[in-house]
Amino acid sequence: MGVSLIGIIAIIFTFGIAILAHEFGHFLVAKILGVGVETFSLGMGKKILKIKRGGTTYCLSMIPFGGYVVLKGAMSKEMEEQIQKEQKQNEAEGAETPKEEKKKSLPELVSEDILMLRNKPLPVKIAIYASGVFFNYLMAIITFTVIMMAGVEIPAPKAPVLGYIRSGSFTEKLGVQKGDMVTAVNGKPIENFNQIYEHMDILMKSNVTTMTLSLKHEKDPVAYEAQVALVKNSPEFRGFLESFNPPFEPYIEEVVYNQPAEKAGIQSGDTIVAVNDKPTQDWMQLVEIIRKSAGVPLRLKIKRGGEYLEKVAIPSGRPEDPKTGQLGIVRGDPNKMIKKLGPVEAFSESVVTSYRIMEFIVINTYQLFSRFNVREIRENMGGPVAIAIESYRQAKSGLQNYFYFFGTLNIMFLVLNILPLPILDGGHILFSVIEAIFKRPISAKLLVRIYSVMIILLIALALLVTYNDIIGNLWRIKLW
């Protein structure tokens, strides 16, 4: 796998812009609300260029990943006393502290954001603390809106004809066969397969409990009916949906990060035409084979462009069900059309998309940690290394895929930073609300202890996640 320049640029852009948007939010809202900003840095690490304008020092720093904001304000007397006490204690113990470190002791560093705004009204504090995640949200909205206005590839409408039906499934028990055509749902004519799902949603929202499908067998013009109870979480309804799809060729839209398919060299855009020398013509047929093959090597015949390749992949067991295999591939459709939206419609759709992504992240994260499956958590946790690799992969697969990933990453930053934990923006908001309720500041000593413990935990977590990323990606070395 050769090194891609666009992939390298994507890594820098991903970290730089997403984190910079967050810090710029804090900077802009602080300025608007009359809170001084001492430093605004583009990039991290050693400063290579500094310009002072209007009381703010604007810096260009060496590491082009993100940036940071230092608010301007006076320390509380309580905090100053705490800092002086620590410095005197260090001097008494004979510890030498460099001058630059005396300016920024540990208590000052970890509690700085809270202390700089301690004397400001609660709405001002919340606005400044929340502005970072708001700008990440805004960045996601803008990204998705531009994508939708430029044109999104979507599958072309499919005829309402049924594809592969799993043996013994509820759909098969209804008498439905592969190749049958759906002509109507509850008496309303159907022109393409998506309309079946649309009518199903309408019926369920209208509290209709039964869906009647009018169908025709492929070789028999006589119509027949099949009835399905619309009970959302019932085994019958789930079984029906699982084996009720149009024909999908085994075309791979996306290969999941660090899963067996990627490790086997399978790529987005590949079509699996045979498994162990047996032809596969439908995606659901392929899924059934994979699910039954956890830990069993599969010889996959791949069609990539105009050539045929052979890959060997070993499906891993699902963390929640080790006997059920998975390769880490996402179904796609090579028959696509371009859909462009106007500015208003694109903006509206981007808001809906952002909400769905946020909901997906929150629900799946909760389920992941509530199950507390160590292997599952390890496989689904990613840090800077994982983000960099995924940025690289998505950029190589196409700009649309990359920018969708970039927008999603901004939503992830939002969800992470709004958590009510010390150090994070949500923690700052929580402490500010507590101080407002009790009408007294949290003691500097307590703040220092809380923040110091949290810093240690975050550093430990960062090291653990990065170690996990590196160990989990060692197999990539052979590709370079």
Rounded CA separation 91/365 (Å)? 47
Report pTM: 0.75
The pair of structure tokens assigned to 371 is: 């199950």
- The pLDDT tens digits of the residues spanning 108-130 come to 444 555 556 767 888 988 999 89
Q: What is the pLDDT of residue 1?
A: 44
On the question of pLDDT at 286 being above 60, the answer is yes
Q: What's the angle, vertex CA 238, arms to CA 233 and CA 244, rounded to 5?
A: 145
Question: Where are the CATH 2.30.42.10 domain residues in the chain?
Answer: 170-242, 252-334
Q: What pLDDT, on the 0 to 100 scale, is given for residue 352?
A: 94
Residue 3 contacts residue 480 (beta carbons within 8 Å): yes
Burial call 325-362: b when 16+ CB within 10 Å, e when fewer: bbbbbebbbeeeeeeebeeeebbebbeebbeebbeebe
pLDDT category, 278, cuts 50, 70, 90?
very high
pLDDT of residue 282: 93
Higher per-residue pLDDT: 130 or 463: 130
CATH number for 170-242: choose from 2.30.30.90, 3.60.21.10, 2.30.110.10, 2.30.42.10.
Answer: 2.30.42.10
Determine the pLDDT at residue 77: 45
Provide the 10 A C-beta neighbour count for residue 227. 9
Of 267, 266, 334, the residue nearest 299 (C-alpha):
266
SS3 call for 342: coil
Task: Answer yes or no: is pLDDT of 79 > 50.
Answer: no
| Better pLDDT: 219 or 247 | 247
**According to DSSP H, which parts of 292-439 are helical?**
343-371, 374-380, 384-397, 399-417, 425-438
- Taking residues 334-354, report their average pLDDT: 92
**Is residue 101 predicted with pLDDT exceeding 50?**
no
Non-local CB neighbours of 281 within 8 Å, separated by 6+ positions: 164, 247, 249, 250
pLDDT, the chain, mean: 82
Please say whether the structural domain 252-334 has been given the CATH code 2.30.42.10: yes
Average pLDDT value for residue range 7-16 = 72
The widest CA-to-CA distance across the chain, in whole angstroms, is 97
| Chain Cα centroid distance, residue 19 | 15
Q: What confidence score (pLDDT) does residue 89 get? A: 61
Helix ranges (H only) for 206-314 are 235-242, 260-263, 283-291
Q: Highest-confidence range of 72-76, 241-245, 472-476, by mean pLDDT?
A: 241-245
Beta carbons within 10 angstroms of residue 215's beta carbon: 21
Does residue 396 carry a pLDDT above 70?
A: yes
Does 2 score more than 70 pLDDT? no
Token pair, residue 369, equals 């940690």
> Over 80: is that where the pLDDT of 348 sits?
yes
